[in-house]
């Protein structure tokens, strides 16, 4: 019994350390941008040494890759744990989905996601294309489940519109500092509902 407890403790401690580092990196991305994510700044923000970072992540590219992976996994888990009533009208389903999404995509997470996107553009193959595609397809599957009778092309088109608009809102927040969330969500819900109605 004692042996079992002692052998699992380092694993739990290691997992907690990794999560702390990932959270600190995400916070740096959100508040100070991609350029601020240096080995030294991350170690300081997470309260660990450079050696601990090296042990858990190897290098900065791997750390950023894992921040992306963790963000995608957390978003997928949030969407999977949330339900949107199937008997709602399409426009109401869109609005309910945006509410679920908004509960996870706080302004800080939105900015962090945007900074990760900028990092992807600057560092070739920071996250392999297959990993990016898998993350988007997972999010698209949650969107598609809301509209089981909609044409596949319509589902994909509206999901891409949703994704692009959310990225645009994040850019606006980065440049201007704020977004009128209720108005932006209402406008997006109207656009998506109109697109779905064309099916």
Which residue ranges in the chain fall short of pLDDT 70?
1-10, 179, 199
The model's pTM is: 0.79
Model confidence over 103-140: pLDDT tens digits? 898 888 888 888 888 887 777 777 777 888 888 888 89
Biggest distance spanned by C-alpha atoms of the chain: 64
Model confidence over 166-185: pLDDT tens digits? 888 778 777 777 767 777 77
How many angstroms separate the CA atoms of 171 and 120, rounded?
15
How many angstroms separate the CA atoms of 55 and 25, rounded?
16
Alpha carbon 193 to its chain centroid, in Å, reads 23
| Phi, then psi, of 127 in degrees rounded to 5 | -125, 120
Q: How many CB atoms lie within 10 A of CB 189?
A: 20
How many angstroms separate the CA atoms of 196 and 120, rounded?
31
Residues in contact with 41: Cβ distance below 8 Å, sequence separation at least 6, in sequence order: 28
Domain spans in the chain, listed from the N-terminal domain onward: 59-197
What was the pLDDT predicted at 8?
45
């Amino acid at each position: 019994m004692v042996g079992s407890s002692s052998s699992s403790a380092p694993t739990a401690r290691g997992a907690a350390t990794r999560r702390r580092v990932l959270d600190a990196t995400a916070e740096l991305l959100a508040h100070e941008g991609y350029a601020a994510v240096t080995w030294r700044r991350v170690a300081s923000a997470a309260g660990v040494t450079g050696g601990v970072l090296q042990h858990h992540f190897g290098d900065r590219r791997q750390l950023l890759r894992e921040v992306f992976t963790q963000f995608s996994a957390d978003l997928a888990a949030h969407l999977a744990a949330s339900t949107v009533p199937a008997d709602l009208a399409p426009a109401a389903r869109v609005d309910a989905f945006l509410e679920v999404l908004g509960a996870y995509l706080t302004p800080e997470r939105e900015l962090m996601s945007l900074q990760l996107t900028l990092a992807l553009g600057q560092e070739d193959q920071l996250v392999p294309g297959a990993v990016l595609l898998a993350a988007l397809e997972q999010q698209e599957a949650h969107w598609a489940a809301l509209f089981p009778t909609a044409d596949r092309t319509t589902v994909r088109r509206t999901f891409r519109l949703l994704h692009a608009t959310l990225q645009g809102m994040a850019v606006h927040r980065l440049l201007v500092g704020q977004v009128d969330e209720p108005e932006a969500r209402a406008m997006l819900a109207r656009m998506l509902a109109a697109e779905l109605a064309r099916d």
